[in-house]
Structure 1
């Protein structure tokens, strides 16, 4: 276990005067340890002197010391004359060496890429922000601790905050911790250790990016001039949502190195890229071809490649109406609704969401975007913004309206937020995507012990259409409730009305199989 120490994350000033000698460094280090336990000074002195002696024998300057050098020292087969023989990977000894290295970093003897001004003050503001966001005391302590750990890991890894990517966060989550900060445990336990680390790192990065201390994630992704221009086209000319822009730019970035010279782009290269990506992600064939076509059209609009290339894309075979919609009968729907208990805030919120899915056939994205002002309590209707950002009005059923009122009265936190549904734990933010609605549906099924039914939020939409058709409603009425643009989209539900199909089906003109 590492020694407990107060960690400073401020930007170190360069060492004043000439380069310090080993004796001067050791003396300054010992003076910084005043107040430590009796005997600790002698042990730290021995570790510091041993480390300085070893790096001198290896021809390593003090200013070049980093984590790789310290690990080499930890693992070396000690034959250092005049020192007690060092046993490789002895934590109680090497922790003192790392504390000495940290001291030299703080004193400016070792240069570290500290590109965030006043990081100590930023971490203090971060803790105040967590309090403001109504996190519990335990969560605040955990997030503050992980932020300090992440800052220490970046310094040990010699990484700049500006250059941190999701790949670095993943490395941090599983790293073998030798960071010079006090940790309750040196090893990760179970599946949740890496998740806790990654969550803490993303939280502090989001805090710094929201305050423009660090560049935002989308700015990091789109640093390339061509990709930035493509992003602007998607947003301003095509009117794409932020999620669509993220998905398109993420895909383009995968094969952008092969398109550095658009003037040399030809049909063969387009087909090779599309074929390669389809082989890697076979379930996204149509989307990959669509994104490639969009980017090539962008290049054509800028005059960077031949206009005829927009016709060079391989045809993507699509099978329409080849499957039956998944649906649940009335008894299954009512069982799911009844399984949502109203004794907790989670149950109250989930029941309101399930009722909106079941009674109105809303998409998961529709529920994410619902706002408080979208409910007209006097006339009893909902204003829904579906695909294409077209506003529609739907009648609000009595039981769904009662569930929403119960949620607003007993479960929804008192926050300044226009979105109707928010998370039940701090920081009480709206859902970030429709995937969270699908997750709520899955958890409702698990809590109720419900199995053997179609999963996902969209299954409620299919079930509503099926029930309406079997009750005698026409396809036009079903399409109105589901807000379909084309009658062909609604026609798929005609296949699930088996009694009606039996009436119009003709006899098989052959022998009975």
Structure 2
């Protein structure tokens, strides 16, 4: 998709006060900030458009600019179909300009300091299908059939990651006592050491039991401490090792996207919502501070629904 054009409104027709300020600002960008000619042109084009909008709104002096005018200018750009990237750039240009106006005494305050930037669209995270998630665990389980402690550990880690949707750092930080097998829940310490309790199912429980009963003792050393998952040398497993494991085992699943541990977190959230879990429950399980963070997974499920519709409906 081609980029939105740089706004190149000339200052013809602007009040002399606006034209004078625009010229001073251009010299500031070129000689004081030493910006490239292309960057100067982009900034000046954006600000010329802003001043033209302000003039049409009845203003003739930069001292009259206010936050409402800045926002209405951006709103007009949005109505014209400008991309979020372009809107964000123009919001930045406006803030830099109003900051300069305030520093140079042309305005009493920086009216653009509270102007927000539109957030760019976040790409939807790749996730595994249910059959691919099963294939991932099956691939790891096959390799663990020899009963090796590393194999048992890897299956337990993959089962817990997919069952709980926990972050890789949270998994590595688990201690043995954090797992409550009577209730099949695990105590997780998330960002900011916020504690939450996350349930897991029988497959994960069986894998954890196998690891604790037959695997962990073989890797444990005097300095292992209470860590639930251990590395080959007996220390607490590190995040790099878990990431390497996930990438390797997913590579064993034909057609599956290349995901890391965070991809399994996305997958767990998506499968929960597709299975009927409500948004707030998923928020609690994942440890999201904001419901808006969890809501992005509804976009994933909707996207998959659309794809299924296009593939299956004869009049799609």
Task: Find 1:435's aligned residue among 240, 253, 263.
Answer: 240
Q: TM-score, normalised by structure 1?
A: 0.34
CA distance in 1, matches of 2:116, 2:130: 38
**Cα distance 1:319–1:436, how it changes in 2: closer, same or farther (>3 A)?**
farther
CA distance in 2, matches of 1:399, 1:492: 28
| Alignment check: 8 A CA contact 2:135 2:253 kept | no
Note the aligned Cα RMSD (angstroms).
3.1
1:392 match: secondary structure: strand
Q: Give how far 1:319 is off.
A: 3.1
Q: Give how far 1:479 is off.
A: 0.9
Which residue does 1:418 correspond to in 2? 226
Which residue does 2:168 correspond to in 1? 364
Matches within 5 A, 1:487-498: 487-498=291-302
| Alignment check: 8 A CA contact 1:438 1:456 kept | yes
1:393 match: secondary structure: strand
- For the pair shown, which has the larger CA radius of gyration, 1 or 2? 1
Task: Find 2:155's aligned residue among 337, 345, 351.
Answer: 351
Q: Give how far 1:377 is off.
A: 2.3
Which residue does 1:376 correspond to in 2? 180
CA distance in 1, matches of 2:231, 2:303: 43
| Alignment check: 8 A CA contact 2:220 2:230 kept | no
Q: Give how far 1:437 is off.
A: 1.4
1:485 match: secondary structure: coil
Task: Find 1:465's aligned residue among 269, 272, 289.
Answer: 269
CA distance in 1, matches of 2:118, 2:230: 37
Q: Identify the structure with bigger relative contact order (alpha carbons < 8 Å, sequence gap 6+).
A: 2
CA distance in 2, matches of 1:430, 1:449: 28
| Alignment check: 8 A CA contact 2:250 2:258 kept | no
Q: Give how far 1:501 is off.
A: 7.2
| 1:327 partnered with 2:130 | no
Matches within 5 A, 1:275-294: none
Q: Deviations over 1:135-160 (max 9, x none)?
A: xxxxxxxxxxxxxxxxxxxxxxxxxx
| Alignment check: 8 A CA contact 1:422 1:430 kept | yes
**Cα distance 1:469–1:378, how it changes in 2: closer, same or farther (>3 A)?**
closer
Between the two proteins, the alignment pairs up a number of residues equal to: 191
CA distance in 2, matches of 1:339, 1:379: 28
Which residue does 1:206 correspond to in 2? none
Task: Find 1:482's aligned residue among 286, 289, 292.
Answer: 286
Matches within 5 A, 1:242-261: none
Which residue does 2:201 correspond to in 1? 397
| Alignment check: 8 A CA contact 1:325 1:492 kept | no
**Cα distance 1:318–1:354, how it changes in 2: closer, same or farther (>3 A)?**
farther
2:257 match: secondary structure: coil
| Alignment check: 8 A CA contact 1:442 1:455 kept | yes
Which residue does 2:72 correspond to in 1? none
CA distance in 1, matches of 2:255, 2:301: 24
Which residue does 2:50 correspond to in 1? none
| Alignment check: 8 A CA contact 1:321 1:492 kept | no
**Cα distance 1:322–1:377, how it changes in 2: closer, same or farther (>3 A)?**
closer
